[in-house]
Structure 1
């Protein structure tokens, strides 16, 4: 990841992260309140049980008083309390978990919505696998916080408070002694949080790197295999996986030291303290067996929720770290350019003008320098130049994928910043060199779920670009399934489908980014016919790879290192015998050589 995105790795304060997570729970406060009341009721029912047994032992069993009615009330009361506790705990757990799942659903929608609003400059630099990891793995960890941790923490904290209330009811002095345990447990928790946060942060980052490497390997598997890069990719994957494993192992060792063993040791010491107290007390006065039973019972019940919380503390730490990564992404301000001003202009003619436009991707090196040109309605402007000359950057700025550093871009005399996204995207049609098709079928790839485009419009658009013929020959026609990225179709077929998708929206401006560069000569002829029809009556800007395809362009701009070095028609540029002339001669020689090779 480059320097500009390093802040996405900086941990957020855990208190701030937790506060933001609680904010997501606010809209659900009614159900959480009901769950909390049920929790209090269930906890109270559990805690009253030992007191009933203490009353039975000290008031009836020890003095051998067996009043049937009183014993019956105690027995029925104990059973009723147990059943009530089970019912209330079931429903409070159900409500807590239902609310937790709804909160995570909202969080995932929020982060995905934010990602969709980020500018292309962000996606140019941030690894796709790492991004997927934050939206899926990290939010899954946050879900565990709500489902497995917060409900348990709330329940056990309420239970601990109840235990101490019951202890004070039985013996104030001994209960005060037991209060000393709390600071020790809190210290252990803080130590655990301090060390585990480092390990879990490292684990999450290494998991993101694993996903990034996996995504890169799968997408580039053809290149990996053809250049025999399997061993290198395997070594790099193993290295990252080993680092992830080591971070996990550190956390496991920490868990083994500061979680259950430490609490078990404290619980044994507390039990020794209680038994010693009753043993010393028995030397001077009789000990009530029921009080002893109840106190030991409560002590045992005290450490069970503490153990549960300690065991979930690791989940809590992982969730907080993951939530911090999610919130850092949600706070990222590298947004896509948006409309400015209150006016609502519309694109009526499609006239385009660049005025002294300068642009840089990284803020350091300009890829476009003082670019100026004008394309009138219905004209075709071709952009040519060597790789890295700035052709695609002009297209990216026209589509408003990036913000301009200096200068102005106008459509119909209005600055591009004043158009709404809906107006701009609906009036500009973009066809890329490598067309992207979505999983679904051909009809949905042309319509893209736009309700204003009917099935008749889909067929008409396909006929217009000469795609209808090959689609009709497919087994299911327009219902033919499309695999990931349209891998089951040839490059020419994918390109024709993308043409149909663009023409179904009838744009005022057509932008072609080397639309014929990746197709064979025979398919190119068919595509050129489709392009000729598409360009009629529309303002067109085309990046040309093959100069023979732009001979009839109204204007041709020759770019070199981000600057316009030549400007004119095909004939005018050949007469100048400059860079365009050299490029044309080189291509003509290559094409003639190719023809000779094919004939031989």
Structure 2
């Protein structure tokens, strides 16, 4: 990961993170209030239970007064409280969980929407597995905050407040003594938060690295096996996995020290305090057994929710760290270039002009320097040059995937930055060297959810690029299922489908990034015939892999180290006897050698 992305690994302060998480609850405020009222009602019903027991002990059991009607009413009231508490607690829990799931649903949508707006410069440097971890694992951790932590925290805090109110009703002096335990519990919580945040941040980052490593290994499994890199990849995976394990184990040791044991110790000391108080009081005056029972019962009920909250502190910390990572990504400002200006120009002719364009991916080293050329309506411009000469960078800038450093790009005399994204994507067709296929069927991959493209348009586009020849031979034709990245199709078949996908849009400008580089000679012949029809009436810019395929281009630009070193037609460049001439001779020799090898193979057969 490059330097400008390092801040994505730095945890955000938990205060602002918590406020942003709570802001997601605003659309559900009405139901949150209803759930809160149910929570208060259920908690109040639970707290009143020991009061009724105290009344029974002190007013009926101790003086041995057993009047039937008051006892029936007391028993019925106790039963009613329990039933009411059960119904209200179930309802509030269901509501809180429902709200929590809707909040997480919206959070995931927001994160994914932000990722879609990020520029390609971000994806060039940030590992895909790390992004997947942010959108899935981290949001899942945040879900646990809403589902398993906040509802329990709110419920238990209300319950604790109710318990202290009941304690003050029973005995003000003893209740004041018991207040001493609150600072101790808060101190334990703060100590836990302070030390655990570091461990959980490390855990989340290591898990992100594990996902990135897995994604890279699965994507490149063929290369790993061919070059026998299984052991090395396994060692690297084990190393990252061990680092994740070590960070997790540190958090477990911290949990074991500061969660249950610490609270249990405070609980025992508080019980000793209460019993001592009643023991000392009994020396001077009688002790009400009902009050003693109620206090001990309340203390037991007090520390159970405290223990529940302490045990969920680890989930809370993990969720806050995960939320911080998610919000870091959502706040990242490396966005894709967007339209500027209030006007809505349209691409009608397709005249393309580059004026002194200079560009750098990393902000330090220029990959294009002072690039200038014009492509007239309906003309074909070919870009040739060695690897790294800047051919694909010109295509990337024309498609507005990146912001240019200096200079200007115009289409029909209008700056590229003034066009809306929908206009650019609708009027400019792009075919890459390695076409991407989506899971679905062939029709879906040609149409790509565009409702304006009918089934007839899909078939016409396939026929136009001669893809119908192999599609109709498939068992399910256009309904044939496509696996991940189209792995069940040959590279030539994938390329033909991508051609059909482009032509179904009927673009005004055609951009070809070495579109025939990965197909066989027979398929290339079909594609060349299709390209000839595709280029008619369209402005075309093509990166050429085989120079023999661009002989009829209206203009050829030869690039070297980010600069245009030669320009002209095929014949003009050959006459110059420069870099293009050398490249052509080398390819002619290579093609003749290939033909000779094919002839020898045919003779052997």
Could you tell me which residue of structure 2 aligns to residue 154 of structure 1? 154
TM-score (norm 1): 1.00
Say whether residues 1:5 and 2:5 are aligned partners. yes
Q: Which residue of 2 aligns with 1:166?
A: 166
Shift of 1:21: 0.1
Output the CA distance in 1 between the equivalents of 2:532 and 2:176: 90
Deviation at 1:520, TM superposition (A): 1.5
1:250 aligns with 2:233: no
> How far apart are residue 366 of structure 1 and its match?
0.6
Provide the C-alpha distance between the structure 1 equivalents of 2:239 and 2:525, rounded to a whole number of angstroms.
Answer: 49
Question: Are 1:381 and 2:381 counterparts?
Answer: yes
Matched, 1:53 2:35: no
SS at match of 2:355: strand
2:451 is matched with 451
The equivalent residue for 1:484 is 484
Structure 1, residues 390-439: CA drift from partner, whole Å, max 9, x if none? 00000000000001110110000000011000001000000000011100
What RMSD, in angstroms, separates the aligned Cα atoms of the two structures?
0.5
Report how far residue 522 of structure 1 moved.
1.9
Partner of 1:210: 210
Name the SS of the counterpart of 1:133 in structure 2. helix
The yes-or-no answer on 1:351 pairing with 2:351 is yes
5 Å-filtered alignment, 1:488-499, equals 488-499=488-499
**Separation in 2 of the partners of 1:63 and 1:144?**
51
Matched, 1:342 2:342: yes
Matched, 1:322 2:339: no
Deviations 1:563-592 (A, max 9, x none): 000000000001000011111111111111
Partner of 1:556: 556
SS where residue 355 of structure 1 aligns? strand
Deviations 1:482-518 (A, max 9, x none): 1111111111111110000000000000000001111
1:60 CA displacement: 0.9
Correspondence for 1:528: 528
Q: What's the offset of the Cα at 1:2?
A: 1.1
TM-score (normalised: structure 2)? 0.99
Inter-partner Cα distance in structure 2 for 1:15 and 1:500: 52
- Displacement of 1:532 after TM fit? 1.4
State the distance in 2 between where 1:226 and 1:454 align.
43
- How far is the alpha carbon of 1:593 from its aligned partner? 1.1
Q: Which runs of 5+ in 2 are unaligned?
A: 601-605
- Aligned-pair distance for 1:525? 1.2
Give the aligned partner of residue 21 of structure 1: 21
Give the equivalent residue in structure 2 for 1:90.
90
SS across alignment from 1:363: coil
1:262-305 C-alpha deviation (Å, 9 max, x unpaired): 00011001001100110111011100000000000000000000
Match of 1:138 in 2: 138
- The structural deviation recorded for 1:473 is 0.8
SS of residue paired to 1:580: helix
Aligned: 1:264 with 2:264:
yes
Are 1:276 and 2:276 counterparts? yes
What is the CA-CA distance between 1:139 and the residue it aligns to?
0.2
Q: Secondary structure at the match of 2:472?
A: helix
Per-residue CA distance 1:15-35 (angstroms, 9 max, x = gap): 010000000011100000000
Equivalenced residues, count: 600
- Aligned residue in 2 for 1:591: 591
TM-superposed CA distance for 1:595, in Å, is 1.1
Q: CA shift at 1:315, angstroms?
A: 0.2
* 1:199 is the counterpart of 2:188: no
Structure 1 gaps of 5+ residues are: none
Residue matched to 1:117: 117
The aligned residue for residue 428 of structure 1 is 428
Q: Aligned partners of 2:293 and 2:529: how far apart in 1? A: 93
Task: Return the alpha-carbon distance in structure 1 between the equivalents of residues 373 and 528 of structure 2.
Answer: 25
CA drift at 1:367: 0.5
